[in-house]
Amino acid sequence: MPELSTRGQRLVDAPPMPGYISEHFTRLNAGASGYVGLCIAENKLQSAALNEQLAGYAVPASALGYDAMTGNAVFRERLARYMGRTFLGRDFLTEQIVLLAGAGSVLEMLFYVLCDSGDGVLVPTPSYAGFWPDLETRDELNIVPVHCASATDFRLTPELLDHALEHAAYPVTAMLFTTPNNPLGRVYSRAEILEVAEWAARRDIHLVVDEIYALSVFGSREFVSVASVLPELGDKVHVVWGFSKDFGASGLRAGVMVSENRHVLDAAGALAYWAACSGHTQHLLSSLITDDAAVDAHIDATRRGLAQAYGRVTEVLDAFGIPYIAAEAAFFLICDLRRWLQAPTFAAEQALWRRMLDEANVNLTPGEACRISEPGFFRLCYAGEDTGLVTDAIKRLGMALARA
């Protein structure tokens, strides 16, 4: 065993990767036949078309050299325009955009410069599981969950925020809010976003809004960005987005931070070298987002594809009597499997997850990973595989549950 630092050893002893993801990669790498992972938030429905589109753009030799670590200036200017036109509702300046290797890197860097180690960060639940490793591993922050309840349709209210803040065991200096929500696939309304922003302003804490699914909305309710709700972001509101979800390009590692706070931008810029996005990727994405016809067609196809997949998946869930919470965005929904738990505990949830894996060879994200405070909910991601394969997997799940 090599000698490691205390912090290095900590990573070995308690790897930040959750169990359901390790299981996923173990089964994938073993080439487990019949295995279907419905636990990773990826949209591969337009992958072939996007790949073909990107293959048509020539990358110049200049992309091989060093450039600004926060992203090439021309690309950032184009990003500001593209994001302004499609979901932010207004244009930002090139210097208010920082590009890094994925939204996860953006979150880690941003929180590093907003908070001190030991600080608390409010995160409403149900939540994206990855926020825990993003904020707690190297930034050494403490996430303070704001638990929303199934009985009230997982609605977030100022009273819940007050309660979490008042009972927090750490000094809370920021909040991380996601719209559309992962894992609920829910779009928050203008009024709800304003309520959250006003609450954070009253409490004088930073508000980071993760809008990484902004363009993957397929329901009737339109996406609203915090940037279009507030007249200005000011020093304490920051937006995160990226190409991993809306472009199904998680492997390219391109995430974006938007902020009006000069100091935050400078501090994040000082760290950018350690998580810069490659010049090659930047050039391809820069070409794509200035090709208005191609990029708009891609997003239209993404929305149509998600609506179609969601429709087929929910039909099968209905046919097997598996309850779920209706979604209107992103590529997942929450199934309510409480009735199949042996007991209302997280141990029973884990046992049910294992049983579905063993009997149906299907991997869902356990609600505990999404920090849902009540056992028995599971996230089902339906756009990472061909829809026929996903619906077959759900049928296997339905049959396994029926044997209970």
Interacting residues with ligand PLP (CB under 6 A):
41, 102-104, 128, 130, 178, 182, 210, 212, 242, 244, 250, 255
Cβ-based nearer residue to ligand PLP, 107 or 197: 107
Cβ-based nearer residue to ligand PLP, 357 or 370: 370
Which residues, in sequence order, are CB contacts of 340 under 8 Å at separation 6+?
352, 376, 401, 404
Cβ-based nearer residue to ligand PLP, 206 or 316: 206
- Under 8 Å between Cβ of 290 and 282: no
Distance (Å, rounded) from C-alpha 185 to C-alpha 168? 27
Is residue 52 packed enough to be buried (19+ CB in 10 Å), middle (13-18) or exposed (0-12)? exposed
Strand 237-242 and strand 172-178: the pairing is unpaired
Cβ-based nearer residue to ligand PLP, 275 or 401: 275
- Under 8 Å between Cβ of 65 and 269: no
- Under 8 Å between Cβ of 161 and 133: no
Angle between helices 279-290 and 73-83 (to 10 degrees): 40
Cβ of residue 337: shortest distance to ligand PLP, in angstroms?
21
Three-state secondary-structure class, residue 255? strand
Is residue 285 packed enough to be buried (19+ CB in 10 Å), middle (13-18) or exposed (0-12)? buried
Cβ-based nearer residue to ligand PLP, 96 or 365: 365
Cβ of residue 212: shortest distance to ligand PLP, in angstroms?
5
Cβ of residue 395: shortest distance to ligand PLP, in angstroms?
26
Distance (Å, rounded) from C-alpha 67 to C-alpha 64? 9
Cβ of residue 7: shortest distance to ligand PLP, in angstroms?
22
- How distant, in Å, are the alpha carbons of 42, 173, 306, 333, 393 from that of 383? 6, 36, 7, 11, 13
Cβ-based nearer residue to ligand PLP, 173 or 250: 250
- Under 8 Å between Cβ of 213 and 245: yes
Cβ of residue 207: shortest distance to ligand PLP, in angstroms?
15
Distance (Å, rounded) from C-alpha 156 to C-alpha 55? 43
Cβ-based nearer residue to ligand PLP, 205 or 212: 212
Cβ of residue 341: shortest distance to ligand PLP, in angstroms?
26
Cβ of residue 398: shortest distance to ligand PLP, in angstroms?
26
- Under 8 Å between Cβ of 242 and 103: yes
- Under 8 Å between Cβ of 104 and 124: no
Cβ of residue 363: shortest distance to ligand PLP, in angstroms?
15
Cβ of residue 132: shortest distance to ligand PLP, in angstroms?
12
Please, what is the end-to-end C-alpha distance for the chain in angstroms?
44
Cβ of residue 176: shortest distance to ligand PLP, in angstroms?
9
Is residue 116 packed enough to be buried (19+ CB in 10 Å), middle (13-18) or exposed (0-12)? exposed
Distance (Å, rounded) from C-alpha 83 to C-alpha 367? 32
- Please tell me whether the peptide bond between 2 and the residue prior to it is cis, using omega within 30 degrees of 0: no
